[in-house]
Every structure is written in structure tokens, then in C-alpha cells.
Structure 1
Amino acid sequence: MSVEHLAALDPIFAECLRVGGPAIRDFSRPTGFVGLLRMVMEQQLSTKVALALWAKLQERLGGVVTPDAILAVDDDTLRACGFSRQKVGYARGLAEAVASGRLDFDAIHAMADEEAIAHLVALKGIGRWSAEVYLMTTLDRPDIWPIGDLAIQLGVQRLKGWADKPTPRQLIEVAEPWRPHRSLAARLVWHHYVALQEQARALKTPKRAASTPPA
């Protein structure tokens, strides 16, 4: 489905493009262990901070992030790269599951959406949000609608003009007409939300005074 077709179903998507611009941002992630580990690290972090910390982790590990590399470094190294004590445990658990063969990404990638989500959330530290976003941003699954995502909640609230943040039921119901293309809908709402955040930050940043030209 094209963006134009989705916008014809609901005018909020035309608003997404008006505010965010015609080029939809790239929210894609790498597949497999690296993609899921990044999601663990990025939880509750801004995009800018998460990217900087991921680059730091890559540098500490010699440029290649693998399950064996994660298991080989000490906790202090992982904490220095943005992993809280809890996230260190999640990262090691994920690395052990992949290294031991208990977690088979090829098998998960071949599963239907709900079956794949069920296998992913069985891992400690991987909730439904992480599993859904993994399927959407790494495998390009077309009909994922992560209602637990705060940007989706606040974005839909603003776009629909609702006074309160929508409930899970409201988010499910509002997206029913967009099936089976809810992933595109989610990307557009993210696109809109990120644009608004950037605009808000720009307004808060004081302008520097112009320097006096030399005489």
C-alpha cells in the first residue's frame, strides 16, 4: 500500500507528511542478535544517546558485536556502554540463548507474527513492544501495530485531537481500518512524532547573538 492510499483511508496520515515532510524516516534495524540487542540497550533512551552508546560498544568490542563478544567482556564494560545492571543481565541472557542454539533467528523469521512474538517474549528482558518493533523494523512485517509504544500513543492522541492519551483498546480499534498495513501507519505516526519533538527542541534552543563584524 502506498502512503497516498493510507492517507485516503484516514486524513491523519496526510497530516503526518505535512508536519514531518514527504520523505519517511528510516526506522529500520539490523536483523538477528545485533538488532535485538540494540533494542534491549535502547529501551528508555533517546535515539541520539542510544546511537552514541552503540558506537561506543562497537569500539570496545573491536567493531563486531557478537554473542561471544558480549559474554567475554565484564559487566563494567557493558555498563560503560549504556547497559544498566538489569540490561546487562538481559544482554548476557540473549547472548547465551543465541550461542547455545536455544534461540534460532532463522526459525523465528519463518514464523507468523504472533508465533514469532511468543518466542521472542519468552526471553527475559524482551517484552511485547520489543518483539513487535523487531518484527516491524528488522523484518519489515507489514501489519505490526505496537500499541505499547509511547510515541504511537501520543502521536495518535495529537493527530486525532483526543483530550486524553488513548487506551490500548482505543488504539486497536482506531487502527482496524488500516489492516493489513498497520506497520506503515506506525512509521508515519513515528515520523510525525519525531518531527514534532525536533521542532520543540529547536524552539527551546536559544539563538546565538550575531558577532560584530571587524571594523
Structure 2
Amino acid sequence: MTSRAAALRHLKRADPHFHKATKAHHSSLPEQLIGKRTSAALFESLVSTVISQQLGLAAANSIFTRVKKACGNRLTPELVLKIRSSGLRKAGLSGAKIKTLKSIASAVKDKSVKLLSLKDIPEADAAEQLMRIWGLGPWSVEMFLMFALGRPDVFSPGDLGLVRAMEAIYSLPKGSSREALVSIAKKWSPHRTYASLLLWRTRDPR
């Protein structure tokens, strides 16, 4: 299991500038990256990730609570498939997000995607499986891999917070290319998740 200590040792060796620039936040990192332990918890996390797309935290949490209530305070693939789209729309979901949630529920129910098994295969393979589901794009998949599965080597070059933090740390011009960001992040592998957490903390230490 990847540890904070191992990640920080690697970052100090591989990218001393990054290590120094983020030093104030090192102690705030979790000691271990621990993923959800059940398929039910992973399903709920994936639903939450989809709901949070392009929303602030407060709005996302409010809609998630309403969606869960509409499903009888339980989020399972069967209940998400059973509830009418109109009920999810009343809870605050767009048509696209409703279609995505029902596509996820269908894939999990028929076992075309086994969420727990994604913990044991390479990040790229896990991402590929998830992105076969309608409506799941790179950002949602990367957030799920980081925060629900606890995968250690994930970087999201499309996340604006990460982009802005990297521009500040490396004095990059605004609008730096995806390729440039990915190239820098390669130095952090196999600890890109910890590096991403540090980048977010430079933007918001909470």
C-alpha cells in the first residue's frame, strides 16, 4: 500500500522544486490512500462523483442528498434503475446526468463493470472500463480512481484546480497544454495521487 512517507521521499528525489513548493502541506496528507471496501460504497461514490460534475461542493452535496432521498435513502443500482427520470429531475439532475446514472446502474447490475475488481488492475485498465459507460469522461473517472478506489498514481490534467496550481508552482503561462502538464506529472509517478492532493492544498488548505 502506498504511504505518505514513500510518496514524499519520491517527490523530494524526483522533483525537488515541487517538494519544496508544497512543503507546508506535507503533514496534511493522509498517511495511507485507502479506498472504499464494498461494491455498495463504490457505487454510491460513483453516483456522487457524477452529480458533482461542474458544480460547487455545496450544490453537489444538496443534490446528492435529494437524489438519495428520492431513492428511499438508499443508493443501489436496482433503485436507481427503478426510479423514474422525472423523480431524479425534480431532485436537481440534468437529463445527461440522469442518463449517466442509469447507465452506471445498468453496468453494475449486469456485472459488465465490477467496481471492486477495479482496485486490483492497472489504473489505465480501470479507467478504460469505466469510460465505456455512457457519460463517464476522464475527469469523473480520475476523481473516482483517486477518492473512491484510493489508486496511488492518478493525475487529472483537465481539473482546473490542478492546472492553476501547477501554473503557479512552475510559473507556467495560463492555458498551458495538456501535454506539458502530463509531462511534468510523469516525474511524480507512481505517486501522482499524492502530488495531486498537494496541488489542491496549495489552492485550498482546508
TM-score of the alignment, normalized to the shorter chain, above 0.5: yes
TM-score when normalising by structure 2: 0.82
Give the secondary-structure state (helix, strand or coil) at the position aligned to 1:37. Answer: helix
TM-superposition CA deviations, 1:116-150 (whole Å, max 9, x none): 11111111111122222211111211111111211
Counterpart of 2:138 in structure 1 is 128
TM-superposition CA deviations, 1:38-57 (whole Å, max 9, x none): 11111101112111221222
CA distance, structure 2, for counterparts of residue 183 and residue 73 of structure 1: 35
CA distance, structure 1, for counterparts of residue 35 and residue 91 of structure 2: 19
CA distance, structure 2, for counterparts of residue 123 and residue 105 of structure 1: 12
How many pairs align? 195
The 8 Å contact of residues 157 and 182 in structure 2, kept in 1 or not, is answered as yes
Counterpart of 1:55 in structure 2 is 65
List gaps (5 residues or longer) in structure 2. none
The 8 Å contact of residues 143 and 179 in structure 1, kept in 2 or not, is answered as yes
Give the secondary-structure state (helix, strand or coil) at the position aligned to 1:158. Answer: helix
TM-superposed deviation, 1:12: 3.5
Counterpart of 1:187 in structure 2 is 197
User: For residue 110 of structure 1, what is the amino acid of its counterpart?
Assistant: D
List gaps (5 residues or longer) in structure 1. 199-215
Structure 1 or 2, whichever has the larger Rg, is 1
Output the aligned Cα RMSD: 2.6
Give the secondary-structure state (helix, strand or coil) at the position aligned to 1:175. Answer: helix
Is residue 164 from structure 1 mapped to residue 170 from structure 2 by the alignment?
no
Runs (4 or more) in structure 1 with deviation over 6 Å come to: none
Is residue 151 from structure 1 mapped to residue 157 from structure 2 by the alignment?
no
Q: Percent identity?
A: 23
TM-score when normalising by structure 1: 0.79
Is residue 23 from structure 1 mapped to residue 28 from structure 2 by the alignment?
yes
User: For residue 154 of structure 1, what is the amino acid of its counterpart?
Assistant: R
CA distance, structure 1, for counterparts of residue 170 and residue 44 of structure 2: 36
CA distance, structure 1, for counterparts of residue 158 and residue 103 of structure 2: 23
The 8 Å contact of residues 67 and 88 in structure 2, kept in 1 or not, is answered as yes
TM-superposition CA deviations, 1:145-198 (whole Å, max 9, x none): 111211111111112222323211111111222121111001111122234xx8
